[in-house]
Structure 1
Amino acid sequence: MSLPDHYTILELLPTASQREIKQAYRRLVKQFHPDTNNQSNHSHEQMLRINFAYEVLGDPAQRQAYDQQRLVISSRAVGVAVNISTENYHQARQKDTDFALWLRNVYEPVSKIIRNIIRPLQEQIDQLAADPFDDVLLEEFQGYLGKSTTLLSAARSRLQACPNPARAGAIALNLYYCLNQIDDGLEDLYTFTLNFDDSYLHTGQELFRIATGLFREANAAVKTSTPL
């Protein structure tokens, strides 16, 4: 399991100050903004990565959580991990139980919600594309956005109400980032229904694509965290 290297994206060292992070973000925005970059597709992709990286590193609380997760993954990579065989048998069993309960009570319902938001998007867009100015089609699309917003709120509440065990840290972190991207995507998609500016539609779709990737990372983390 690997996390996006936000420090590399912003061309910074992990020891960078919040001021240096902000300065790097402003510099890269000027460099890769599609309006000033000839390679529009590449610059658009890069801008999304830059914005995502700054969203995490620019917020001290999110940065701290991200740094802690990087440390956990780095420790595993060099083989620094708790040897279960040296732990008390009952403690190890309790950790297994806590992890299984978290998967059942948090990961599974949140995953179901994410799928119920992401999967219908393309079909909803295809239906609206028949006539974006049709009141009925527009109302149906806005209904999908409204329902998705309600589902998103439920997913966030469940994720926040049940603290994850350490073993589920990578899973929870990717779900958290995934929900953030969905939230931003829904906002852009709703803005599109107000002004019919295609840029909001495309950005919303791209944010959902990023959310899908983060969701896959969460699923992959489940497989690597679950004993065979």
Structure 2
Amino acid sequence: MAHSNHYETLRIQPHASQAEIKSAYRHLVKQFHPDTNPKTGDRDWIIQINAAYEVLSDVQSRRQYDRQLGAGAPKRSPYSTTTQQRSSQRPNARSSYQNRPSGRDADEQIEIWMQQVYQPVNRSLCRILNSLEQQIEELSADPFDDELLDKFQAYIVDCKDWLKQAQTTFRSMPNPPSMGKAAAHLYYCINQVADGLDELAYFPLNYDERYLHVGQEMFRIAHGLHCEAQKSVEAIA
């Protein structure tokens, strides 16, 4: 099922909005995930779908990918209003630090940002990302058991509270210029976690396991972004 580009993989047009990209991804994962549909599922195909979504769901990487395709800028912006609003909240080192500090001042800014932003956000993300596997394992014992479902719903509520704390902390202070890459990875990781939690929260409402699989796939992407953020911090520290 090889395709010439990521848009064909997700079965969407190059001018698709970010909301359309997300909707197409969710539909394809539910349709082709081997755990959900043993007869039609294809793990290699899911890998291609994930790779396409990972590029196109990130506004910056999508723009770079569009340039590589040589398609040029579309007449109508493909990015939805929601995405534009999110983009305006992204880390922007140049606007936040027009007069770059140097030497000791720069080191102090990095240390403050690390202590007051990165470390608490990182703890919240670790708490969410590292707990899902155990929750899914416990739920799998009997997905229709009321007690297990109540526990899973409580877990989702807790995760959303932890995520809200991470979002608030992340917006509390602009990142130093040298931490721009790490901040960008954190931003996209937070968004992926939010989308994944939304998917997981649907399961107790209709017992459709496809929501669990889509949520797990989104958490997998979030894990990768989280690791990239950590690597970026380690490269500077």
Q: Is this contact kept in 2: 1:145–1:190, CA < 8 A?
A: yes
In structure 1, give the amino acid aligned to 2:151.
Answer: E
The TM-score with structure 2 as length reference comes to 0.68
Could you tell me how far apart the structure 1 residues matched to 2:160 and 2:117 are?
18
CA distance in structure 1 between the aligned counterparts of 2:233 and 2:189, rounded to whole angstroms? 15
Q: Are residues 1:119 and 2:113 paired? A: no
Paired residue for 1:161?
172
Q: Give distance in 2, aligned partners of 1:9 and 1:96.
A: 41
- CA separation in 2, counterparts of 1:169 and 1:153? 21
Aligned residue for 1:98? 109
Shift of 1:62: 5.9
Match of 1:199 in 2: 210
Distance 2:188 2:179 in 1: 14
Deviations along 1:64-123, one digit per CA (max 9) or x if unpaired, are: 899x89xxxxxxxxxxxxxxxxxx9x8321111101110111110001001111111111
Q: Would you say 1:140 and 2:140 are equivalent positions?
A: no
Checking the alignment, whether the CA contact within 8 Å between 2:54 and 2:221 is kept in structure 1 is no
Aligned CA distance change for structure 1 residues 10 and 113 (closer, same or farther; 3 Å):
same
Using the TM superposition, give the Cα deviation of residue 126 of structure 1 relative to its aligned residue in structure 2, in angstroms: 1.0
| Corresponding residue for residue 213 of structure 1 | 224
Summarize the Cα distance change of 1:161–1:26 in structure 2 as closer, same or farther, 3 Å threshold: closer
Deviation at 1:163, TM superposition (A): 0.9
Contact 2:186 2:225 in 1 (8 A): yes
State the secondary structure of the residue aligned to 1:133.
Answer: coil
Q: What TM-score does the superposition give when structure 1 sets the normalisation length?
A: 0.71
How many residues are matched?
Answer: 190
Correspondence for 2:193 among 163, 166, 182 = 182
Alpha-carbon distance change, 159 to 92 in structure 1, aligned in 2, over 3 angstroms: same
Change (3 A) 1:117 1:135: same
Distance 2:88 2:49 in 1: 23
The residue number in structure 1 matching 2:43 is 41
- Give 1:51-90 correspondences, 5 Å limit: 51-57=53-59, 58=79, 59-60=83-84
**Cα 1:20/1:185, change in 2 over 3 Å:** closer
Q: 1-side partners of 2:164 and 2:126: how far apart?
A: 14
- The answer to whether the 8 A contact 1:21-1:54 is kept is no
DSSP 3-state at the match of 1:46? helix
AA paired with 1:197? D
Let me know the Cα RMSD of the aligned residues.
Answer: 3.4
Task: Write the deviation string for residues 28-76 of structure 1: whole angstroms up to 9, x where unpaired.
Answer: x69x95659x77323333333433433333345666899x89xxxxxxx
Amino acid of the structure 2 residue aligned with 1:209: R
Where does residue 121 of structure 2 map in the other structure?
A: 110
Whether contact under 8 Å (1:33, 1:43) holds in the other structure is no
- Larger RCO, structures 1/2 (Cα 8 Å, 6+ apart): 2
Q: Secondary structure at the match of 2:102?
A: helix
Deviation at 1:195, TM superposition (A): 1.2
Structure with higher helix content: 1
Task: Name the amino acid aligned to 1:145.
Answer: I
- What whole-Å deviation, never above 9, does each CA across 1:115-150 have from its counterpart, x for those lacking one? 111111111111111111111111001100000001
Which amino acid is 1:224 matched to? A
